[in-house]
Amino acid sequence: MQVLEKDPSASWSSVGAVEFQVVLLAGGPGSRMSPLSTEIPKPLLPIANRPMISYQLEFLERAGFSEVIIVAQEEASSELRSYVHEIYKGKVRVDWHFLADTMGTAEALLQIKDKIKVLPSYAALATWAQSVPSLTLALRAQTNFIVMSSDLVVDEKFLHGMADLHRLQDAMVTLLISRPKPVEGATGPVVDTKNEYGLMDYVGLKEDGERLLYFKAAADIENKMRISKKLLRKNYSLTIHTNLVDAHFYIFSKAALAMLEARKEKIVSIKGELIPYLVRCQFRKAFTREDAPIKRPFSKAYSMTSARVDTTDKIRCFAYTMEGGYCSRANTIKSYVQMNLDIASRGACYSPLEPVTKNSYIHPAAVISPKTQVGAECVVGEGTRVGERASIKKSVIGKHCVIHDGVKIINSVIMNHVTISAGCVINGSVVCNNVYMKEKCNIKDSQIGVSYNVPEKTDIKNESLCRETEGMGI
C-alpha cells in the first residue's frame, strides 16, 4: 500500500482511496454454481486454492484502497468474518453489511446508501480546488463510488483510465466491459458467440466507442430489440455490440442513488433494471418527480475553472472497454473451472499461494510419489498425498487430499480433504470438499457436491451429484 499524496500527477494508487468508496457485492446465492455453492458461500469458493474473495481484496490493495464495504448474506457472516479476521493478512479494512433476506443487487445497494459518504460543502470544494490543481479530483472527491462483484477477477491497470473517463464526462455511471477471450476449439482458438458467462449482452455505443446509448442483457429481451425513437432522433451513429461483456464493475455518481431511491419499487438489479433505466434517462427532456431531478452542486466550482467539460446533458452513461489484461467472472461452473486453470497457468495477473516448482505450484508439505507425473500448470495444496503412477495435468488439487495409485486428473478442480481411490479418471470436473470416491470411477464434465460418497465404478458425464441426490440411483 502506497502512502497517499496530494500530487495531481500521482498514480491511481495515490488518489483512488481518497476519491472513491468501494462496495463489494458478495451476497448472491450463486444459483448457477450449484452444487459448488450449496454448502460453501460463493465468495469463499476456492480458486487455485485461495478463497474467491481474496482476489478482490488483493485488487483493492494493489489499487491503493484502504477500505471496502462488503455486502453479503447473513447466513454467510460467520465464515466470511472468520476468513477476513483470522486468515486474510492484507491492509484493506472491511465495513460489513449483512442482508437478512435474499435480494437483488440494486436493492442491496439501497440498504447501504447511508454508508456512502455525502457530498462535500461548497466551501470545502473551493478550498480544495485552490490547494489541489486537479479539477477532477477536487470536484469529484467522495461523490462517486465503485460497485464490483465478488466473482470478478481483474487486473487493476484499467482503473486509472476508467476513472478518468468517468470524471471527465461527469458520468452518471460508467461500466467496465471486456471482450470474451478465445477458447481452444477443435480447429484452434475461437470466440463463443455467447459470452463466457453464458449469455450475451447487447451493448450500444456511440461512434466514439465510449458513450453508452443502449444496454440490455439477452435474457431480458423477449422477442425483438426495441430502440427508442428519442435515441434515433438524436442522430447518433449507434453500433450494437454482442461481443462485449459487462464485467460487473461500475463507477456511479452519488446522484444515481437518488434516482434508484425514487424508483425502488421497479428496480431490483443493477444490470437488469438500473443500468438500462439510467441509459434511457439520457434522452428524456425533463424529469418527473418520480425520476428525482438531478442537481449539479458543482456548477459554481466549474465556473471557477477553464476546463472544457460539457455539462448540457443532465445524465450521461459511458462504457470503458478493457483492452489487454485479465478480466473474468466465476459465475458459472464453466467460467469457475477456467479461472482456476488460468491462474494455475499464469494466464491471469494473480498467483496461487503455493511456491512455484517446475512450472507448477506445489506446496512443500505435499507428498507426491516419484513415480507420479504432475504436469505443468497445476496446483497441489498443503498436506496432499499422491500415490504411484498417478497423472495430474492442468488441474488444481486442494489441501489434505489423498489420491491413490493410478488416478488420472485432467482439467479439473479438486477441493480440500478429498479421497480419490485407485484407478479413477476425472476430466473437466469439480470435486467439492470431503468427497470420498471409490475405485475405478470415470467422472467427465461433472460436479460432485460436498461430502458425497461416490460408489465404485461410477461412470457419469455432464451430471451433478450432491447429497440430495444420493441414494436415488443416479
Which domains does the chain show, CATH number per domain?
20-119+137-296+312-329 (3.90.550.10), 356-465 (2.160.10.10)
Residue 143: its pLDDT value, please?
77
For all residues of the chain together, what is the average pLDDT? 83
Whether the pLDDT of residue 125 is over 50: the answer is no
- Among 159-173, 273-287, 452-466, the least confident range: 273-287
Question: pLDDT tens digits for 349-397?
Answer: 899 999 998 889 999 999 999 999 999 999 999 999 999 999 999 999 9
pLDDT above 90: percentage of residues in the chain: 63
Q: Quick one: pLDDT at residue 394?
A: 97
Q: Is the pLDDT of residue 21 over 50?
A: yes
Give the 3-state DSSP-derived string for the chain, with helices as H, strands as E and coil as C. CCCCCCCCCCCHHHHHHHHEEEEEEECCCCHHHCCCCCCCCHHHCEECCEEHHHHHHHHHHHCCCCEEEEEEEHHHHHHHHHHHHHHCCCCCEEEEEEECCCCCHHHHHHHCHHHCCCCCCHHHHHHHHHHCCCHHHHHHCCCEEEEEECCEEECHHHHHHHHHHHHHCCCCEEEEEECCCCEEECCEEECCCCCCCCCCEEEEEECCCCEEEEEEEHHHCCCCCCCCHHHHHCCCCEEEECCCEEEEEEEEECHHHHHHHHCCCCCCCHHHHHHHHHHHHCCCCCCCHHHCCCCCCCHHHHHCCCCCCCCCCCCCEEEEEECCCCEEECCCHHHHHHHHHHHHCCCCCCCCCCCEECCEEECCCCEECCCCEECCCCEECCCCEECCCCEEECCEECCCCEECCCCEEECCEECCCCEECCCCEEECCEECCCCEECCCCEEECCEECCCCEECCCCEEECCEECCCCCCCCC
At 142, is the pLDDT very low, low, confident or very high (cuts 50, 70, 90)? low
On whether the pTM is more than 0.75, the answer is yes
pLDDT given at position 286 = 54
Please give the average per-residue pLDDT across 236-259, as a whole number.
91
Across residues 97-106, what is the average pLDDT? 93
For the chain, percent of residues with pLDDT exceeding 70: 77
* pLDDT-wise least confident of 15-19, 237-241, 418-422, 438-442: 15-19
pLDDT level of residue 135 (50, 70, 90 thresholds)? very low
* pLDDT value of position 303: 42
